[in-house]
Amino acid sequence: MSTRRTFIKGALIGGAAATAAMVTGEVVAGLAHPSGTSSPTPSEPGVNKLTPLGLNQPGIASAPLKHTRLIAFDLKETAETAMSAWMSLLADDIDRLMSSQPLLADPQPELSSLEGQIAIVVGFGPSLFKKLGIEDQQPLGFSEIPSFAIDNLQEKISGGDVLLMLSGDDVLQLANAERALIRDSSYFASIRWQQSGFSSVQPDSSLGSQRNLMGQIDGTASAKPGAASFGDSVWAKRGPNWHMGGTTLVYRKIAMQLDTWDKLDHDDKEKVIGRKLSNGAPLNKSKETDFLDLTAKSANGLPAIPTFAHVRQAQAGEGKYPLFRKPFNYVDEIAEVGSSAGLLWMAYVGNMAEQYLPLQEKLATFDLLNKWTQPIGSAVFALPKGRLHKTDPLCGGLFS
Ligand code: HEM
């Protein structure tokens, strides 16, 4: 009987996972959505499962699942020539976990078979390209995120060579998948940091927005999957082939000073953001979907949306695409620094240098929200394009 050890050995010497995938030769139907996004493929009765296959990696362009786990790895020196084998092994694991099937020689087949939505994506940090001497394969505009004046970054929860990000609705299923992926990665890499988060999508929001721990409705003006400009904002259109149809994930772990935030009165809290706490409407309007008019004045002649309000400072600007933000809340058992709760602010961008860095620089200088928030972790990962067939490499061909 095969064991995980013999399987991993096989993957290293002969690409066993890829071979196993080739034997099954499956191609999930309905994978190439005309809009360039992965389309959910109905599988089990009553469950619209996300498919591991598609033009883009799974779950990025779909509604946030309730929980997320991020694992950032640092590559072991001994495994620098084994990226392709590691990716083959992960591809097989991801295909199975996302289809509720046991892994090869699975020590916990009952848990891997749990039904429920789960999406797993992989990404590569700037440090990996450097380590492997393949900087020429980096996406356009991709680099380590510089430190900003507001940052209090902790090295041990920042950066990373390789990211695995899992999202799901069932915490047990997610915990098993996370353990399995870590187990199968242990030959190749060590864990640099791990982070869990949760989302709380508002059932009555037509915009898919959620509440964060400051009580605000978050996500109103984020790029919307299906909108005409979504693909241009999120998926890479230029750059190395392995990344075409991929994206870049900007990750910022932002601690919230909730004790001092709680002391602000209701009106002041709303002015810090520029939107109402009750329903996310602009301050001078009534509905979340109402137009944010930055020229409007209040009765006293002052701007209805205050000058240093977060939404005013965060405007994308003329001719720019709205940012696709997909944050999760976090509450840590033990505070890394200062506060144990906050936001895992995440955005998916086609070009980080153009879409994220200038905006972050501006917010770091002028955003009133900075008085109650502090970035303590930071990382960026290039996410390869999706796989159309199970035999396609998880890395988009970067290492093969
Ligand atoms: C803990 C930190 C943060 C919190 C609590 C927060 C919260 C919010 C809220 C409540 C909104 C209004 C509703 C919406 O459109 O989503 C918003 C909008 C926005 N935020 Fe943040 N945000 C944070 C950090 C950031 C960062 C770091 C960036 C970018 C570097 C950013 C970029 C944006 C953008 C682009 C908008 C939309 C502005 C518009 O077009 O109206 N936010 N944020």
* 373 class by beta-carbon count within 10 Å (0-12 exposed, 13-18 middle, 19+ buried): buried
- Cα–Cα distance between 88 and 225 in angstroms, integer? 29
Q: Say yes or no: CB of residue 218 within 6 Å of ligand 1.
A: yes
Ligand 1: distance of its center to the CA of 369 in Å?
Answer: 10
Long-range contacts, stretch 266-271, CB < 8 angstroms, 24+ apart: 269/214, 269/215, 271/306, 271/309, 271/368
- Residues 20 and 26 sit within 8 Å (Cβ to Cβ): no
CA distances from 116 to 152, 174, 329 (A): 37, 10, 21
Residue in the structure block whose two tokens are 């890394």: 336
Beta pairing partners, 28: none
Ligand 1: distance of its center to the CA of 311 in Å?
Answer: 6
Ligand 1: distance of its center to the CA of 291 in Å?
Answer: 16
* Closest ligand 1 atom to 359 CA: 30
- Cα–Cα distance between 15 and 242 in angstroms, integer? 20
Q: Say yes or no: CB of residue 137 within 6 Å of ligand 1.
A: no
* Closest ligand 1 atom to 356 CA: 30
pTM of the model as a whole: 0.91
Q: Say yes or no: CB of residue 253 within 6 Å of ligand 1.
A: no
Residue 286 phi/psi, 5-degree rounding, is -115, -25
Ordered per-residue pLDDT tens for the chain, 400 residues: 445 555 555 555 443 333 333 333 222 222 233 333 333 333 343 356 899 999 999 999 998 999 999 999 999 999 989 999 999 999 999 999 999 999 999 999 999 999 999 999 999 999 999 999 999 999 999 999 999 999 999 999 999 999 999 999 999 999 999 999 999 999 999 999 999 999 998 776 778 899 999 999 999 999 999 999 999 999 999 999 999 999 999 999 999 999 999 999 999 999 999 999 999 999 999 999 999 999 999 999 999 999 999 999 999 887 789 999 999 999 998 776 778 999 999 999 999 999 999 999 999 999 999 999 999 999 999 999 999 999 999 999 999 7
Quick check: helix, strand or coil at residue 87? helix
H-state helical runs in the chain:
4-14, 16-24, 83-98, 109-112, 126-132, 171-185, 230-234, 258-263, 266-273, 310-313, 352-355, 357-366
Q: Is the dihedral of CA 36, 161, 120, 61 positive or negative?
A: negative
